[in-house]
Structure 1
């Protein structure tokens, strides 16, 4: 491979099925989530028939979070996980609801305020690749349906490792690769035909939901992500397939 080819590969990345300049991806992802923020929760329920609540409940159960813990909820969006964690950590704990997108954070902050969450939860706009927290701060970090939108996933994983306490755990909940070829075909039809139509009808935005479907297909499969977490420095990395592998929960421990 010549130097020009290497330079070109390093300067572009995928945005769905498109190739875009690395420096442009974050803005393009931001535009998607600015667009979908107001209808995000409604669309999540419709897209998954409510099953996303079970995926998140399992994530909470695996987290091991208890009273007094500090939790970082990256790409926390509208605050589903943060709300549950705030109940678990109690008055002596802390939950940081973090997202790179200010529109999503505003929706999440307002929603959590309406639900009476106060005192042990703060909101922080932050890039997962460059987390603005001291080393060894958190007992648990979660990132649910957000890693696939990060430009440099390896950099983000190393950033997460840095701010975890030794013995702390990272949980990555993300769409993954269905195990059954038949399920994969059904899932493709749903993702590329039904999902954009649903986005058009409910959120008046088919393009953003087409991107979301494409971004899922570009995300590393279960074993690739497991290797990436191991290479970033996590130990005891494992994953649980859910709904036939449509979603997987990866867990890693900071040595």
Structure 2
């Protein structure tokens, strides 16, 4: 492998220097932060709420738990976890992007949340938390934007308590050929158009579609989680594999 190849990574379908990807991803989310919730509802026709509900159910979070919501964005999962852990527990909403973190913090505080929630700007590849600390770690629709996914998965495993669970909710590979064709057509025509009409930004939504295609498929991600030190790794396909929820346990 050449030195040039080692120092580049993909940003959507483009090859860019590793250092540049973080800046470009930040630019995407700076652009979409204010319209993120609206666009989620439009793009998924509201189905993202069902995907997240299933994630909550499989997390096993209960009173007193310590929970980390990585790439927590506008706080959909954090909000639900806050209710479940109660006053005895704590939820940390972490995001690498300051704009997204501010939108999430403002949204949660405006709705009366915050007593058991902390907000931390953090990079998933080098999380500023101690070993064996969290009962549950989640990352929803964020792993595909991470440059070194293997490193991030190892660090997420590091901060889990023995018996703790990592849940990765992410776009994946459709299991039905007809769905694949329909999904490709939708992703590369409808998504950029909606981004232009409702968020004034077609390029960021084109990148989001490309980043989904570059993300590892279900079985590859399962293997990556096992290599990171997780056991009993399983995944659940939703919407014909358009989205998959992976769960692994730290022994």
CA shift for structure 1 position 154 = 0.2
Residue 37 of structure 1 corresponds to 33
- Which secondary structure state, in structure 2, belongs to the residue aligned with residue 67 of structure 1? coil
Give the TM-score taking structure 2 as reference length: 0.99
Residue 175 of structure 1 corresponds to 171
Is residue 98 of structure 2 the alignment partner of residue 102 of structure 1? yes
CA shift for structure 1 position 119 = 1.4
- Which secondary structure state, in structure 2, belongs to the residue aligned with residue 209 of structure 1? helix
Find 1:229's aligned residue among 225, 232, 241.
225
Residue 211 of structure 2 corresponds to 215
Query: Mapping of 1:1-255 within 5 angstroms?
Result: 5-255=1-251
Tell me, which stretches of 5 or more residues in structure 1 are unaligned? none
Q: What is the number of equivalent residue pairs in this alignment?
A: 251
Counterpart-to-counterpart distance in 1, 2:249 and 2:198: 40
Tell me, which stretches of 5 or more residues in structure 2 are unaligned? none
Q: Deviations over 1:39-59 (max 9, x none)?
A: 000000000000000000000
CA shift for structure 1 position 131 = 0.2
CA shift for structure 1 position 118 = 2.1
Q: Deviations over 1:79-131 (max 9, x none)?
A: 00000000000001000000000000000000000110021000000000000
Counterpart-to-counterpart distance in 2, 1:148 and 1:177: 13
List 4+ stretches of structure 1 deviating above 4 A. Answer: none
Counterpart-to-counterpart distance in 2, 1:186 and 1:9: 33
CA shift for structure 1 position 10 = 1.0
CA shift for structure 1 position 6 = 2.9
Counterpart-to-counterpart distance in 2, 1:142 and 1:244: 22
